[in-house]
Amino acid sequence: MLNYTEYRQYDATGLAELVQKKEVTASELLETAIQRAEAVNPKVNAIIYPLFDSARTTAALEGAGPFAGVPFLVKDLGLEIKNTPIRTGCRGYEGYISKQDSYAIQKIREAGLVIMGKTNTPEFGLTPYTEPELFGPSRNPWNLEHSPGGSSGGSGAAVAAGIVPMATASDGGGSIRIPASCCGLFGLKPTRGRISLGPTCGEMWSGAVVEGCVSRSVRDSAAYLDAIGGTQPGDPYLTTPLEGTYVSQLGQNPGKLRIAFSTVHPLGLAVDQACKDAVAKMAKQLSDLGHEVSEATPLPYFKEDLLERFLVVVSGEAEGELQQLGKFLKRRPTTTDVETNTYALALLGRTFKAGDFAQAKKEWNEIAQRVARFHQQYDLLLTPTLASRPIKIGALQNSPAEQTLLKFVNAFNLGFMVKASIGQLADKAFGYIPWTPFANMTGQPSMTIPTLWTEENLPVGTMFTAMQGREDLLLRLATQLEGAMPWGGRMAEL
């Protein structure tokens, strides 16, 4: 049996190789992971629903697949595991039990991964931090006063804390890349439609949401995409499959890439110097590797894209979430079922007309065309992943005055007042994540790379975005960068 110090030295691919060589058993790996979870989860609050007993049964079967025997965690949002609760961070879903496995869960099982629990997420994945009222905040293993990001914050915290080497994450506005950046991990958001969201749904957030993972190594994310990627009948989006595998792209020379960079905040706000320094460090590294790096002026992103086009669709989707919850409850949800901000965002969604929603979605397509023209000149766009280092727990929560106002607005369904109230909260959220949502609106693949650590021992990532379908290009560059500026050996200590 590996002790924790030995266990922590391996990524998921490395652990699977040990099992394959019979140097360790799946059950032994699982017990090490459970011991680590029991030691650190009270500090980081990453796992909200342990599945240790069923995991022991699975591990004892010693299944096959590229990740056979590797302990694994699943975000408690979107992916359903048969006969287990799924709460999505929401009080109203008490008593809900999944009746079937999601397509991706079926593929995860076929890959040999041993699901040992479900991870914390904000209510309906709506925030870039993970602080649901139902389960409490997840904390960043690098500095427990700070957030691991969201909405896949529980998964990010679990991987950074060394419980598992890899965990599922989903991304509708940055929720793979945000926690990966906050937790010093690699995070790849795939192209829209690369991984089926079926059979319970065809699309989420009007096509913005994709499934993926957070991991410690590039090769794990590549192998995960090979294992989990695919579509099924009824899916609304079909992507051209890669010839060969994503793992086969690793180590291939990406060639001399034309890379534009920018640290200009799309809302015109200030950007943390640490995030600017991370981009400068990355730009120099890229130049040293022989790539053509130049500053992008202007960016193909506009503030209206976030504050109007993205917000209209997301608020409409929040109202849709409440309608879906209402089917389970058999009544209209109230403020006792969901959090104040969720109810207010849904109320905002009800103030828009169907035509407003349709027009905003059409404008997403216009953004995609605008960005495509940008990529005719540049292979990749480099920006900070976030506009600041990982925030402190509670930093983006409502002030007492905001909370009081929103409760008043919700109590009386004052739709005419909610726009201003939610607008202030949206400004704060988009001030923190001004770059990540664009790839969700356009469907592009995007990745974050651990780049530097601040004086508070907080990770800061940089983000690369490519044209649709070019995960292969991102992975080739990521492998090159992982060799030039390795981050995998740096670990949070709790």
22 flagged as catalytic: no
Is the separation of the CB atoms in 228 and 104 below 8 Å? yes
CA 116, 122, 127, 129 torsion-angle sign: negative
Residues 398 and 428: their CA atoms lie apart, in Å, by: 10
Q: Cα-flanking dihedrals φ and ψ of residue 195, to 5°?
A: -125, 125
C-alpha angle with apex 314: 101 to 385, nearest 5 degrees? Answer: 85
In terms of C-beta density within 10 A (0-12 exposed, 13-18 middle, 19 or more buried), how is residue 419 classed? middle
151 flagged as catalytic: yes
Residue 223: CB atoms within 10 A of its CB come to 25
**SS3 state at 389:** coil
Q: How far is CA 131 from the centre of its chain?
A: 15
C-alpha angle with apex 196: 382 to 62, nearest 5 degrees? Answer: 100
Strands 186-189 and 47-50: unpaired
Is the separation of the CB atoms in 458 and 389 below 8 Å? yes
Catalytic residue among 27, 147, 170, 175: 175
Is the separation of the CB atoms in 159 and 165 below 8 Å? yes
C-alpha angle with apex 188: 30 to 298, nearest 5 degrees? Answer: 160
Extract the tokens encoding 157.
Answer: 């915290």
Extract the tokens encoding 410.
Answer: 């919700």
75 flagged as catalytic: yes
Is the separation of the CB atoms in 105 and 76 below 8 Å? no
Catalytic residue among 27, 75, 206, 262: 75
C-alpha angle with apex 180: 98 to 307, nearest 5 degrees? Answer: 85
Is the separation of the CB atoms in 129 and 115 below 8 Å? no
Catalytic residue among 102, 151, 215, 315: 151
Active site residues: 75, 151, 175
